[in-house]
Amino acid sequence: IVWQGRDITRWSAARRARAGIARTMQVTSIFPSLTVFENVWLGAQRRHARPSAFASRGGLAEVAARARECLDLAGIARRADEPAGSIGHGDQRLLEIAIALALRPQLLLLDEPTAGMSVKESWEIVRRLREIRERDRLTVVIVEHDMEIVMELAERITVLHLGQTLAEGTPDEIA
């Protein structure tokens, strides 16, 4: 795996995150007993961690502001004080995206971001991802089996089967 001209194949997840790569997995991975805000705060804290980050209230305020910004971007700010485990599956997926965004990535990797969602929830994810991508000029790579979602979000599509590229092109070319 090459990222920005460097072979990152054997890098740890933490090192990849420091290099500007954030990801969400197919199976939701949050801290269910923490609030929605606290989950995103942890991501923002990790991104802002430096020796002086918490030496003053300014460091804490910066982390909290980033967490609130990411909750707004994901559209779940209204759920900030709720336990993460108590919110619906669609909102949990948006929470994972907010946590990933808290790292201020250059590349966002999403594995099946709409898996197990209702049609309404899936299209909310699409809408949010489009807004985030355009706002932050962020590169987003999605592994997704729902072709409607893929065709709506993608600028370029690579169709794989057993690790082999079958087709590559724009959504119109692939269709």
- DSSP string over 102-166: HT--SEEEEESTTTT--HHHHHHHHHHHHHHHHHHT-EEEEE-S-HHHHHHH-SSEEEEETTEEE
In sequence order, the 6+-apart residues with CB closer than 8 A to the CB of 24 are 93, 96, 97, 99, 100, 109, 110, 111, 113
* Position 11, amino acid: W
Question: What's the pLDDT score for residue 158?
Answer: 94
End-to-end Cα, the chain, rounded Å: 28
Question: What's the pLDDT score for residue 95?
Answer: 97
Question: What's the pLDDT score for residue 48?
Answer: 59
pLDDT 10s per residue in the chain (175 long)? 899 999 999 999 888 988 999 999 989 999 999 999 999 999 888 765 554 555 455 678 888 999 999 999 999 999 999 999 999 999 999 999 999 999 999 999 999 999 989 999 999 999 999 999 888 889 999 999 899 999 999 999 999 999 899 999 999 999 9
Question: What's the pLDDT score for residue 14?
Answer: 83
Q: What are 90's two structure tokens?
A: 């669609």
- DSSP-derived secondary structure letter, 78: G
Q: What are 172's two structure tokens?
A: 């119109």
Question: What's the pLDDT score for residue 57?
Answer: 59
Tens digit of each residue's pLDDT (9 = 90 or more) over 122-131: 999 999 999 9
Q: What predicted TM-score, i.e. pTM, was given to this entire model? A: 0.88
